[in-house]
Amino acid sequence: MLLQIPELLSPEQVAQARSVMDRANWVDGRATAGHQSAQVKNNEQLPESSAEARALGDMILQALERSPLFISAVLPARVFPPLFNRYGAGMEFGAHVDNAIRAVTGTASRIRTDVSCTLFLAAPDEYDGGELVVEDTYGEHRVKLPAGHAVIYPSTSLHKVEPVTRGARVASFFWIQSMIRDDGQRTLLFDLDMAIQRIRSDLPPGHPGPVQLTATYHNLLRRWADC
C-alpha cells in the first residue's frame, strides 16, 4: 500500500526543521547505505548521532504518534529514528530495495523494515526533479509532495529518487516495523478501519453494525499481529 499522510508537520515545524538543517554539517549519504545501494546513492545526510538529527527526529516521532491515519495504515510496533537527506543539483539515488533489517546506531536494537516513509521538507517549487519513484505490480508511482507531507510504502518495493536538476530536495526518511508484517493484511485492516469510521458516522447511535465490524477488525488483528 502506498499512502500519503498530509500535513504530518505544520508549516511552523517545517520552518523550524529547515532552520536547524541549514546550520548543520552534512556528510556523504553512502554512510548509511548497504553495499548494493552505495553503488547508486549520491546524496548528503545529517550524521545519525548529531544533536540536530536527534532533535528533529524526536519532533517527527511525536508527530507520528498524533497521526491517526499513520497509526491506522502502519500499525507500528517500532519506528527507526528518523534520518535526514539532501539532494543538490546532479544528485540522485538509483533503483534499490531497502535493507530488510536496520541496526539502530549506538544500540543493540534492530528493526525489521516493513514500511518505508519519506517526509518531504522542501516545497516542490524549490527544486526540479527529485521525484520519489516507487514500483509495484501496477507500475511506477511518482511522488513529490508539499513540505510537511509524507508518503508510506512497502519496504519491499523497488524505488529510486530521480536526479535533481535545480535547487535542493530536503527530506526525512525512516522505516517502521509493523505489528502486521504482511502488506496485504495491513491493507485489509486499514480498509476495514476506514469503512468502520465511515459507517459509524452514517448510522444512528446504537446501531449494531459498527460494533460487529469493530469486533471483526480486532479479531483479525489478534490473529495476525506480531508484537
- At 172-181, the pLDDT tens digits run 999 999 999 9
In DSSP terms, 50 is beta-bridged to: none
Which is it for the CA torsion 172, 14, 8, 138, positive or negative?
Answer: negative
User: Residues of the chain whose pLDDT is less than 50?
Assistant: none
d(CA 73, CA 21): 29
What confidence score (pLDDT) does residue 208 get? 87
Residue 226 is labelled as binding a ligand: no
CA 61 centroid distance within chain: 11
What confidence score (pLDDT) does residue 153 get? 98
Residue 159 is labelled as binding a ligand: yes
pTM above threshold 0.95: no
